Structure 1
Amino acid sequence: MTKATTNTAPQAPRSNSTISTVAAILRCFTVDEPECGVTEISEAVGLHKSSVSRTLRTLEAERMVSQNPETKRYRLSWGLLSIVGPLLSHLDLRSLAYPVMKDLVAHTRETVSLCVFDGVEAIVVEQVQGTEMIRHVTPIGTRYLSLEHATVRVFHAWRGGEVGLKTTGVREAQPEAAGWDREQYEKRLEDIRQGQVAVNNRDSNDDEIGIASPIFDHRGSIVGALLLAAPAFRTPNARLDSLCPAVREAAEKIGRSMGFTPENFS
């Protein structure tokens, strides 16, 4: 038995350009909702159904989406791999992190994910499922936006790294959306920087605990975050005392494999 945990938020186009419209439509397809109809996409992105339909037909011709002949609903198609494939093939972080993630799963029996940041959202790019019968699952492609999530807190603590925070105008990414004022926000981020770990203790979901730690490269720049997700019923506060150091040490190990030397950045 598994329990999926995802976070998605379809957004309207960020400008009137065709590219922005296409991006908004593609963001409607999520792990939880892999198939979408024209009407629901139209409502999600705030565009007329005729505009959405024309764009989907063009994307279908480019093999980026496909239509279910029975339901007439659309889903993402394999043509997108020709675009994202080069990115994934050069994302050395995934190949370096994977064996460390497997070791952490073997040690904790909980699901471990690798996340990167696009300036607004933390995105799962690799994942190793836990070995317990009841476990949390964070599929590749899951996106986290709210500061209720541990990975988002980690990236905010280091201001988004080289990509920088680009959350202006994104309500869900603001501290107020998580119930924090600005003073609490800065204090929590400073605590994360000091302890090198962020804990989502039932903040996003009453059933879930999330522990995240930053991954740095040889320049000391944050390039990712390691996330361990566990059911709350199996994770009392006492267990956090052992899980947090385990996640932090695993993240540091990945960083060292990328040339990061903590002693030079302390």
Structure 2
Amino acid sequence: MQNKNITVVKSMDVLNLFLHHSVLTLNEMVELLGVPKTSVHRMAGSFETMGFLQKNDEGRYKLGLQFLQFGQLVAERLDIRQIALPIMKELRDRAKEAVNLIIKDSNDAIYIEKVDTLHPVRLYTKVGRRAPLYAGACSRIILAFLDEDEQERYVCETKMVPIGSGTITDKDQMREVLADARENGYTISDSELENETISIAAPIFDHTGSLAAGLSIAGPDSRFGEERHPELIELLKSAAKEISFQLGYQEGNE
């Protein structure tokens, strides 16, 4: 039990009962767990309050709808990684640069998949890395395609502090850049998260037409001369569109 919280483990024991039982009374849970009734009652009550358990009119417990929400999110996010990875590898091979897959997590963007460039000089990122939505193309493309009210609320409430030498901190400028990204279907950042780096990002949409993720190409600015931008943008948007189509997206739904 080293490094484990005993209360959390015991609470999970309650939920684990429902892997094999669709409904249980409080007394049945007590019997199966072999722990005091007061403890089980307290844990079950807490889970009911949080939506992880539901109690019917007969006092019998079953798993709550909160699990459906979490399960759906996990399934969607796993599916998008599986769908995107081969397309990301093809994009890496054609663009010769690193490719990242990013989703929104609260007020951050989080990297959930990456394919490194084969160049010896590269921009290092890792799965699980976080960045604020206002900084960098990979994050900003998500912010650009949020609901307008949610986007404006974020811009108004967020203190935009410099991270790299090119981080945009002026809110009016940010609004212009977001509007351009939404109109053009991509955005470019220069030294916003790390100095002397460039990133180009495009949105990925799901079967409902909603934003699902962002796809980006990133690397040292020495390899991202403006003459390459049209080619890279075209490759990126094509890859993002292919992932969207495989998620069930149909043009005109966003």
1:140 aligns with 2:83: no
1:60 aligns with 2:7: no
Aligned amino acid, residue 125 of structure 1: I
Q: For the aligned residues, what is the CA RMSD? A: 3.0
Which residue of structure 2 lines up, in the alignment, with residue 50 of structure 1?
none
1:188 aligns with 2:177: yes
**1:205 CA displacement:** 2.7
**1:181 CA displacement:** 3.2
Equivalent-residue separation in structure 2 for 1:59 and 1:233 (angstroms): 49
Which of 195, 203, 216 aligns to 1:227? It is: 216
Which of 172, 177, 198 aligns to 2:187? It is: 198
Flag as ranges the 4+ runs of structure 1 deviating above 3 A.
Answer: 85-90, 164-170
Distance 1:88 1:102, change over 3 A: farther
Which residue of structure 2 lines up, in the alignment, with residue 214 of structure 1?
203
Which residue of structure 2 lines up, in the alignment, with residue 38 of structure 1?
none
3-state secondary structure, aligned to 1:171: coil
Superposed CA deviations along residues 61-112 of structure 1, whole A, max 9, x for unmatched, are 249xxxxxxxxxxxxxxxxxxxxx9765652111111111010011112111
Aligned amino acid, residue 60 of structure 1: N
Equivalent-residue separation in structure 2 for 1:148 and 1:90 (angstroms): 25
Structure 1 unaligned regions, length at least 5: 1-57, 64-84
Which residue of structure 1 lines up, in the alignment, with residue 241 of structure 2?
252
3-state secondary structure, aligned to 1:155: helix
Q: Is the 8 A contact 1:119 1:160 kept in 2?
A: no
**1:186 CA displacement:** 2.3
Which residue of structure 2 lines up, in the alignment, with residue 79 of structure 1?
none
Distance 1:173 1:99, change over 3 A: farther
**1:204 CA displacement:** 3.1
3-state secondary structure, aligned to 1:246: helix
Counterpart mapping for 1:127-166 below 5 A: 127-145=114-132, 147-159=134-146, 164=150
For normalisation by structure 1, the TM-score amounts to: 0.61
Which residue of structure 2 lines up, in the alignment, with residue 121 of structure 1?
108
Percent of pairs with identical residues: 26
Aligned amino acid, residue 259 of structure 1: G
Equivalent-residue separation in structure 2 for 1:206 and 1:61 (angstroms): 40
Aligned amino acid, residue 180 of structure 1: D
Distance 1:127 1:239, change over 3 A: same
- Number of residue pairs the alignment of both structures matches: 184
